[in-house]
Chain A
Amino acid sequence: MLAYLLRRLAWGAVTVVGVLLFLFWLFFLYADPQDVARRALGEKAPPEAVAQWLANHGYDKPAVWNPAAPLDTRLADHLRRMLTFDFGKSDADDTPIAARLADGIGPTLSVTVPLLLLGLPLAVSLALLVAFFRETYIDRAGVVLSVLAMSVSILIYILGGQFLLGKVLRWFPISGFDPDPGVVLRFLALPVLVGLVSHLGSDVRFYRAVFLEESNRDYVRTARAKGASDARVMARHVLPNALIPVLTNVSLAIPFLFTGSLLLESFFGIPGLGSITVEAIHANDFATLRVMVYLGALLFVAAQVLTDVAYTLVDPRVRLG
């Protein structure tokens, strides 16, 4: 198992280095830092101010090769910063990126954690329910509703939720965020609700298929033959044995726990990491974008490795090697 893990980590490292080199090409060679400087300083900025800005941000250094000082290049700076997690300053407003991440992680987790904690049991329960009532109209209605729900864009859920629940029914604030304990739940309710509903269709359909496949296996028939009730069969036999696909689905969501949902955060005005990414895109803040993509890659690789390990815990038959 150790050898397998080391091999996976090595491949993960190669992936991350590949991502870093791609980011370098995209943000240092393909994109023009003059654009970033103009955006940061405004249209009226004189050429001297632009030159000073480029120098202050290290964009005036040679890109890859500097014979006078081989380590004083944009490539070397980029790799050093990313690998040491010294992310530097935002191109848009010089805020330390680490500080922005620290500010953003709380709001992001306050949306994504409830989404995961409420969404997973809800989707699994509904999937169990429709699987339990398989081939009845509840099952068929569940499938139809799931397909309908997963066919609708999340944008429609967001705008519809804001319009209906925020504007017409006035149940929740239409957008915004305030960590004040007296009001924070009001701000989280609508985005969490919209997030839950928007993911529910695909999750229920997926888990239902998994549970149905599992409930057709021999051991389930054996359990039934022994007189176990349907509810007991589903809860004690089908559910534990269907955990691997569930785990895979959850592990894919782990990176987004931290990087946040770009659309949810952006439309609901939640100042999390997703919003930071969207703003960085709008503001040509390449320094922040690089960091967000890099962290996303790191989290993805880490989630993959952890999922492999988790397989061995939920299913003793799995051996890594």
Chain B
Amino acid sequence: MKRIAAALALAFAAACGNDPYPASDAASRVLYVPYAEAPKTLDPQVAYSVYDHEVIANLYETALEYHYLKRPFELIPALVEAVPEPQPRADGRIAYRFALRRGVRFAADPCFGLGTPGATQREVVAADWAFALQRIADPKVGSPVGATFAKIVGFSAFAERLAQLREREPGFAALRIDAQYARAGPVEGIATPDPWTLEIVLGEPYPQILYWFAMPFTSPVAWEAVAAYDGEAGRPRFAERAVGTGPYRIAEYAKRRRIALERNPTWWGVEHAGAGAPAAVYPIEGEPGDAEAGLLPDGVAGGPLPFLDRIEMRYEKELIPSFTKFAQGWYDRSKIPKESFDQAARGGTLSPEMQARGMRLDRTVMPGVYYVGFNMGDPVVGHAAGERGRKLRQAMSLAIDAPEFLRVFLNGRGIPAQSPVPPGLFGYDEHYRNPYRQVDLARARRLLAEAGYADGVDPATGRALRLTFDTGDPSVQARLRYEFLVAAWRRLGIDVEVAATSYNQFQEKVRRGAYQVFFWGWIADYPDPENFHFLLWSEMSQTRSGGPNSANFSDPRFDALFLDTRARANDAARLAGIRRMRALLEEERPWIEMFHPEDYSLSHAWLRLAKPSGMTMPVHKYWTVDPAARAAARAAWNQPVRWPAYALGALVVALLVPGVVTYLRERQ
């Protein structure tokens, strides 16, 4: 019994203390960050979520990257020598030639023994890039961006050949993946004239293709890794086993507990830093204000990356415990839970207590837009209603108070949108005020009367004009948001009914074009206005082609401007075209632009060089921490309060002793 009691006491002593990390980490340059969603996959050709990319961006690299500090975003060469220029061809096709950087190696992994017995590493060559693009085409891989890369000549034909071979030839699917692709034949528009050159040929002008070469989808992949990690016979799956070229490699991948990354000792940047390769060194210049913000300190600019020795990501599904750990110093950076928002960052500034602890509030406007859309295929609110429909849409737009919506539902985290293009992108004009996005009920009522709906009354029925607000989100939170909009329109006399169904029923309505008003959002894949304007291009009409133009907006003037601006570089003519599109949308009102979302993050003072980006891009290699400052703060903030334990023990004794004494006395 004594031994058990002693063991329990020892165990309790070992259990006391709130430091969640082994003591050996205290002096290391380790970044501690929480993550709320486990990555679905580490397969770069498949991964699409922010959570996937947070990890993958450290493990795989791309041909191009975004400049870490400059805004608007600027492409810089990473695994290539230079950003390629488009080369128009006589047949109307456009070629891009990537000069690949030499000396880039995949991280060490036993899978390379498949190609060369005994090998654990090899250099990245052009064939690995071609292989990655073929994987995007491969229907079995299930890449979500196949449609985008179908602009490469012969891309879809390769996918069809591969699918046919798998279906028709017994045993084909069992061949090694590189053999399967070889049998299916090359993609016509992908060429590898030598091991250091990759050429892609597009069937139409699409300058935005370069942005896709800054996303993990196009990261080079070794066929050996895909072949070796097939999930069969106890082997891990490629989706869980990263073999990339990045500055970090996986030390532990227990994705529902901990993802630990350590420096990749054979990262190409180590060798190329001396030559100042842009993605291998810290930038020497940024945007105005960066120097004042401590992002260009002496001795760091131009220095070799990465700075951190290890990145510790801990799974924290619940935001409040995660935030508490951040406040205790156990995480270096954190999101702010809705429940703690007012306490932490009221009015967009950090609370005095947090400021006193040296914390920093980083605010970034995300490259996205949320909007209320009208189905332009609808006879009442759409194109068919002509001038009447246009004025109805304008009136409804004038009734919606976006700043109030942001205040009520998002703690003010966002900026009211005036047009589809968010801040930080070419074509955004911070001084522009959309006349239909300022609340003006008097004007709205006048427009409504001009549309033939005086006081919101539909002359056909003699009652309030009845519209439906269709949504695939029946949750209470969503309903509250939509009721805000409905209440605004009710002030004009319009009766809008929220029709909340399951997502699939909503999709079915969309397919049939049986919807009128809806709420939607879009976060950019890349920082170019084209990625927003294409949401209103008639070719992308949801009802007609299943594209993301959910408003089914179709205007030949807009289409012509879109195609013109899409193919242009960021020059004055492009800006003029974007302004003309904006004016057209301002008048036509297929959308009521609501807001551009804003991301709020908190950082401790010891986390340095962390500039918020809002885009999915490799950032951790630029960050650093001051372990000594962190250790001192943690020690000061986490002294346990012991007296309640002693008080509790005394209370138990005080309660029991008289009872026992009384009992014994009674028995005697």
A138 within 8 A of B: yes
A137 to B18, CA, bound (A): 38
Is B146 within 8 A of A49, CB to CB? yes
Residues on the A chain within 8 Å of B655, using CB = 138, 141
User: How big is chain B's contact interface, by range?
Assistant: 35 or more
Q: Name the residue in A46, A267, A269, A276 with the highest tally of chain B Cβ atoms < 10 Å from its Cβ.
A: A269
B98 to chain A, nearest CB (A): 26
A96 to chain B, nearest CB (A): 7
Knowing A175-B316, A266-B317 are in contact, say whether A185-B15 is a contact too (CB < 8 A).
Answer: yes
Is B240 within 8 A of A169, CB to CB? no
Q: A268-B321, A271-B315 are in contact. List 11 more A-B contacts (CB 8 A).
A: A35-B502, A47-B546, A49-B143, A56-B142, A162-B324, A166-B18, A178-B257, A182-B23, A185-B15, A186-B20, A189-B12
Residues on the A chain within 8 Å of B322, using CB = 175
A69 to chain B, nearest CB (A): 16
Residues on the A chain within 8 Å of B28, using CB = none
3 interchain residue pairs of minimum CB distance: A189-B15, A175-B321, A185-B15
A187 to B655, CA, bound (A): 31
A218 within 8 A of B: no
A266 to B320, CA, bound (A): 13
Knowing A46-B546, A53-B142 are in contact, say whether A271-B240 is a contact too (CB < 8 A).
Answer: no
A20 to chain B, nearest CB (A): 25
Residues on the A chain within 8 Å of B656, using CB = 138
A163 to B12, CA, bound (A): 19
Question: Which label, helix, strand, loop or mixed, suits the secondary structure of the A interface?
Answer: helix
A236 within 8 A of B: no
Is A52 within 8 A of B315, CB to CB? no
Complex interface bits, B310-324 against A, C-beta within 8 A gives 1, otherwise 0: 000011111001101
How many inter-chain contacts with C-beta < 8 Å in the A-B complex? 161
B318 contact from A93, A96, A183, A266, Cβ within 8 A: A266
Complex interface bits, A79-120 against B, C-beta within 8 A gives 1, otherwise 0: 000000000000011111000000110010000000000000
B254 within 8 A of A: yes
Is B18 within 8 A of A174, CB to CB? yes
Knowing A34-B504, A168-B641, A176-B316 are in contact, say whether A162-B321 is a contact too (CB < 8 A).
Answer: yes
Residues of B with Cβ closer than 8 Å to A? 11-12, 14-23, 38-41, 48-49, 139-140, 142-144, 146-147, 231, 237, 239-240, 254, 256-258, 314-318, 321-322, 324-325, 328, 330, 502-504, 507, 546, 548, 638-641, 644-645, 655-656, 659, 662-663, 667
Looking at A37-45, A251-259, A311-319, the stretch in contact with chain B turns out to be A37-45
Residues on the A chain within 8 Å of B315, using CB = 269, 271
Knowing A175-B318, A178-B258, A275-B317 are in contact, say whether A93-B239 is a contact too (CB < 8 A).
Answer: yes
CB-nearest residue of chain B relative to A141? Answer: B655
Residues on the B chain within 8 Å of A168, using CB = 641
Is B22 within 8 A of A183, CB to CB? yes
Is B663 within 8 A of A133, CB to CB? yes
Residues on the A chain within 8 Å of B258, using CB = 178
Complex interface bits, A4-16 against B, C-beta within 8 A gives 1, otherwise 0: 0000000000000
Residues on the B chain within 8 Å of A279, using CB = 256, 317
A274 to chain B, nearest CB (A): 12
B587 to chain A, nearest CB (A): 29
A-B contact pairs, 8 of them (CB 8 A): A40-B40, A56-B142, A138-B659, A174-B328, A175-B318, A176-B321, A185-B14, A269-B321
Is A94 within 8 A of B321, CB to CB? no
Residues on the A chain within 8 Å of B144, using CB = 41-42, 44-46, 49
B164 to chain A, nearest CB (A): 15
Is A186 within 8 A of B17, CB to CB? yes
B646 to chain A, nearest CB (A): 12
B22 contact from A44, A53, A138, A180, Cβ within 8 A: A180
Is B239 within 8 A of A183, CB to CB? no
User: How big is chain A's contact interface, by range?
Assistant: 35 or more
A172 within 8 A of B: yes
A136 within 8 A of B: yes
Q: Name the residue in B19, B321, B656 with the highest tally of chain A Cβ atoms < 10 Å from its Cβ.
A: B321
A53 to B644, CA, bound (A): 56
Residues on the B chain within 8 Å of A32, using CB = 502, 504
Is A177 within 8 A of B142, CB to CB? no
Knowing A41-B144, A133-B663 are in contact, say whether A95-B240 is a contact too (CB < 8 A).
Answer: yes
Is A167 within 8 A of B324, CB to CB? yes
Residues on the B chain within 8 Å of A53, using CB = 142
A100 to chain B, nearest CB (A): 8
A136 to B656, CA, bound (A): 12
A50 to chain B, nearest CB (A): 10
Is B324 within 8 A of A166, CB to CB? yes
CB-nearest residue of chain B relative to A46? Answer: B147
Knowing A92-B40, A93-B239 are in contact, say whether A52-B641 is a contact too (CB < 8 A).
Answer: no
Is B325 within 8 A of A174, CB to CB? yes
Is A275 within 8 A of B18, CB to CB? no
Is B317 within 8 A of A269, CB to CB? yes
A188 within 8 A of B: yes
Is B314 within 8 A of A176, CB to CB? yes
Q: Name the residue in B20, B38, B147 with the highest tally of chain A Cβ atoms < 10 Å from its Cβ.
A: B20
